[in-house]
Amino acid sequence: MTKIKFCDVVTMTMRILGIETSCDETAVAIYDETQGLLAHTLYSQIALHAKYGGVVPELASRDHVRKLLPLIKEVLHAANTQPHEITGVAYTAGPGLVGALLVGAATGRSLAWAWRVPAIGVHHMEGHLLAPMLENPAPTFPFLALLVSGGHTQLIEVQAIGRYRLLGESIDDAAGEAFDKVAKLLGLGYPGGPAIARVAQQGKSGRFTFSRPMTQRPGLDLSFSGLKTQVLTTWQAQTIQDEQTRADIALAFEEAVIDTLLIKAQRALQQTGLKTLVIAGGVGANQWLRTRLQQLANELNIQVFYPRPIFCTDNGAMIAYTGYVRLKAGFQEPLSFNVQPRWSMESLN
Amino acid sequence: MKLLALETSTEACSCALYVDGTISQRAEFAPRKHAELILPMAEQLLAEAQLLPAQLDGVTFGQGPGSFTGVRIACSVAQGIAFAANVPVAPVSSLAALAQHLYQTQGHEKICVAFDARMKEVYWGIYQLNQQGLMQLQGEECVCAAHQVPLPDEKNSWVGVGSGWAAYSEALSDRLAGYVQHYDSEIYLHATALIPFALAMFAQQQVYPAETVTPVYIRNKII
């Protein structure tokens, strides 16, 4: 029997294929240890879910199956990479939608098995957390991370890779979730973040004011569920529900969310004494939030980092990079793959 | 011909390896453990045959209907392996595979397959042995209420198989009175039963690039 000799992974420059399928984006990227990000691509299912006002998990899973391999082929081509040059495969293993995660995990783990290279299941939020590392300049440790997405709103002290301390988080809805729900009740469509930001540009400040939840209390936890209810009550109380009223409410809501995030982030910076703030997650793409954070950073004389907007939302690049970091540190998955729909980031420590 | 077969559409998880006429297999009744089991099974079978995945000539998988998550696991694993090994894929109906399994193990040639599809429905297919020794679909596969399943063209001598016969035994027995003499709801689907179909498909070059194969859910009303 012929024996096929495979390249010795250890002596090769690492080149990692990253796969993200935790929610409604199918995304793939290739990260090279020396050359950095070689290519990334993404297919968004937003149009598929828009008419339902949110992600339908079964539809998402089905679409990932159709899109994933074509995207992998596309990204290999774009990165001018032959399959045998891939030295490891990273896939999002959680948190997220279980069926959607399983598509990426099953495909990624099987590719790695058949290629005879190691695989690594990546924590989606660690991916977001490390996404700013793809930028130049990249932040240096330690830093405070404000993770704001559709599923999470967290303040995390990052001492080093794999050393995370959760300082506070939303006790109910995530900030992105609140944007989605408020957009839906104002009839603005899905996804809510960009829809509200767009309409709010036409809004007049001061006509409506919503509370900044939990900012009067000590601590770093957040809450956005009550804010959503305030918006609903206010909207329903309007006898004239015209475009201007809609825009004014959207603006007041956006102001309230951003103010709340800023107050808590500032409090966390003061408590920890950290001088670097990193923003990640889909809400981090909000331009106004970025502007306000930059102002805060200037006032406090600290540095603020955020990934480019397409790396704030779900993407393959952050998974490829985080996979590279984890594989480099010696972690890898057994052949038994699995996913964790709920997964605390502190468990990575 | 070296062919890897994967079947995870029911509560059974199984993997089979065909190497030039010899079949080896692994199977386990393991609800919700398919992701944990399927690749270790494949690795063991290939190791015993002293093969590497890159030496495979093809991959076949049970494409459903069945558990949505289950059929996706088989499909995604088949896609990943076939893409990496640069070989085509032969997707096979999981209903047909169970009919084939019953033929291979018990010799029955006329079979009504019913998988429990939950929500008071079954995935349904009527199969009859053809001259090539393969179970051939009569009419169409469907998902429907147990008391409304399509009937075979002729009465008598049919055998029922699949989990649907346990979940809706009364409704199916009433509906198939005069058609089905007995049924077996305890036989589990096996990846070995995919292989005869896949070999025929490879022989006729009715095989597909990895990125084009998908599960067959049949049930598309999911919201």
Q: How confident is the model over A34-42, as a mean pLDDT?
A: 97
Q: Would you state the pLDDT for residue A185?
A: 94
| Residue B166 maps to a domain | yes
Confidence label for A11 from pLDDT (cuts 50, 70 and 90): low
- Residues B86, B59 within the same domain: yes
| Residue B222 maps to a domain | no
Q: Which chain A residues are within 8 Å of B85, Cβ to Cβ?
A: 114
Q: Report residue A59 as tokens.
A: 């539809």
Q: Report residue B180 as tokens.
A: 């089905």
Chain A residues touching chain B at CB-CB below 8 Å: 1, 4, 52, 56, 58-59, 61-62, 65-66, 68-70, 72-73, 83, 98-99, 102-103, 105-111, 113-116, 335-339
| Residue B85 maps to a domain | yes
- Residues B105, B159 within the same domain: yes
Q: Would you state the pLDDT for residue A7?
A: 46
pTM comes to 0.94
- Residues B82, B112 within the same domain: no
Domain count for chain B: 2
pLDDT digits (tens, 9 = 90+) for A58-88: 999 999 999 999 999 999 999 999 999 999 9
**Which residues in chain B show pLDDT less than 70?**
none
Q: Would you state the pLDDT for residue A188?
A: 93
| Residue B220 maps to a domain | no
- Residues B62, B103 within the same domain: no
- Residues B11, B80 within the same domain: yes
Q: How confident is the model over A219-228, as a mean pLDDT?
A: 96
Distance of alpha carbon A60 from its chain centroid, rounded?
17
- pLDDT at residue A3 tops 90: no
- Residues B32, B141 within the same domain: no
Give the nearest chain B residue to A102 (CA atoms). B73
CA A301 vs CA A158, A274, A293: distances in Å: 19, 11, 12
- pLDDT at residue A6 tops 70: no
Strand-pairing partners, residue B13, are: B28
Q: Do B52 and A116 touch (CB under 8 A)?
A: yes
CATH number for B77: 3.30.420.40
Chain B residues touching chain A at CB-CB below 8 Å: 35-37, 39-40, 42-43, 50, 52-55, 68-69, 72-73, 75-81, 83-86, 210-211, 214-215, 217, 222-223
| Residue B218 maps to a domain | no
Q: Would you state the pLDDT for residue A101?
A: 98
Q: Do A336 and B35 touch (CB under 8 A)?
A: yes
Q: Do A65 and B36 touch (CB under 8 A)?
A: no
- Residues B88, B106 within the same domain: no
- Residues B90, B6 within the same domain: yes
Q: Please tell me the distance from the alpha carbon of residue B168 to that of residue A29, in angstroms, as a whole number.
A: 47
Q: Please tell me the distance from the alpha carbon of residue B94 to that of residue B8, in angstroms, as a whole number.
A: 9
Q: Would you state the pLDDT for residue B207?
A: 98
Q: Would you state the pLDDT for residue A82?
A: 97
Q: Please tell me the distance from the alpha carbon of residue A196 to that of residue A189, in angstroms, as a whole number.
A: 9
pLDDT digits (tens, 9 = 90+) for A201-213: 999 999 999 999 9
pLDDT digits (tens, 9 = 90+) for A258-271: 999 999 999 999 99
> Strands B2-7 and B12-19: what pairing?
antiparallel
Task: Share the mean pLDDT of chain A.
Answer: 94
- Residues B87, B57 within the same domain: yes
Q: Would you state the pLDDT for residue A50?
A: 87
Q: How confident is the model over A111-135, as a mean pLDDT?
A: 97
| Residue B100 maps to a domain | yes
- Residues B18, B123 within the same domain: no
User: Where do the H-state alpha helices sit in A53-141?
Assistant: 57-78, 98-115, 124-130
Q: Would you state the pLDDT for residue A5?
A: 44
Domain that holds residue B204: 2-94+189-212
- pLDDT at residue A1 tops 70: no
Q: Would you state the pLDDT for residue A8?
A: 46
Number of Cβ within 10 Å of residue B131's Cβ equals 6
Q: Would you state the pLDDT for residue A165?
A: 95
Q: How confident is the model over A210-230, as a mean pLDDT?
A: 95
pLDDT digits (tens, 9 = 90+) for A225-261: 999 999 999 999 999 999 999 999 999 999 999 999 9
Q: Please tell me the distance from the alpha carbon of residue A265 to that of residue A256, in angstroms, as a whole number.
A: 14
Please give the share of chain A, as a percent, with pLDDT higher than 90: 91
| Residue B40 maps to a domain | yes
Question: CA nearest B60: which of B22, B17, B91?
Answer: B91
- Residues B115, B48 within the same domain: no
Confidence label for A150 from pLDDT (cuts 50, 70 and 90): confident
- Residues B149, B193 within the same domain: no
